[in-house]
Amino acid sequence: QVQLVESGGGLVQPGGSLRLSCAASGSIFSIVAMGWYRQAPGKQRELVAAIISGGITNYADSVKGRFTISRDNAKNTVYLQMNSLKPEDTAIYYCNANIIGYGLGYAKDYWGQGTQVTVSS
């Protein structure tokens, strides 16, 4: 089994910064991709940023230039550095990982429990 544990959410003023972390643990053979999604009240869950093996990244247009995703392969951890935060960034942020477990011949998607990010003065 695989677990994703997130940390780093909280309350921040507009223009501030936060850094989210997500560590994957368990029976991991290979991590194909890791990323962050968010869901605001009354809205659908949306992709914020993702990073795949080799370091290729993808960002939602709304966060380009403000958010940076990175990954520590040795620690099976993905980070999301969020700068110049806006009230519209307020949401629950979920970590997602596409992982091939030991004994499996295919990748599965796993989700973290979510961490609240609130941007407000």
pLDDT band per the 50, 70, 90 thresholds, residue 15? very high
> What percent of the chain has pLDDT above 90?
93
Q: How confident is the model at residue 89, as a pLDDT?
A: 98
Copy the structure tokens of residue 26.
């368990």
Tens digits of per-residue pLDDT, 68-90? 999 999 999 999 999 999 999 99
The DSSP 8-state label assigned to residue 112 in this structure reads: -
The DSSP 8-state label assigned to residue 38 in this structure reads: E
Q: How confident is the model at residue 103, as a pLDDT?
A: 85
φ and ψ of 49, to 5 deg? -160, 150
Burial of 50 (0-12, 13-18, 19+ CB in 10 A): buried
pLDDT band per the 50, 70, 90 thresholds, residue 54? confident
Q: How confident is the model at residue 39, as a pLDDT?
A: 98
Q: 115-119 and 10-12: which strand pairing?
A: parallel
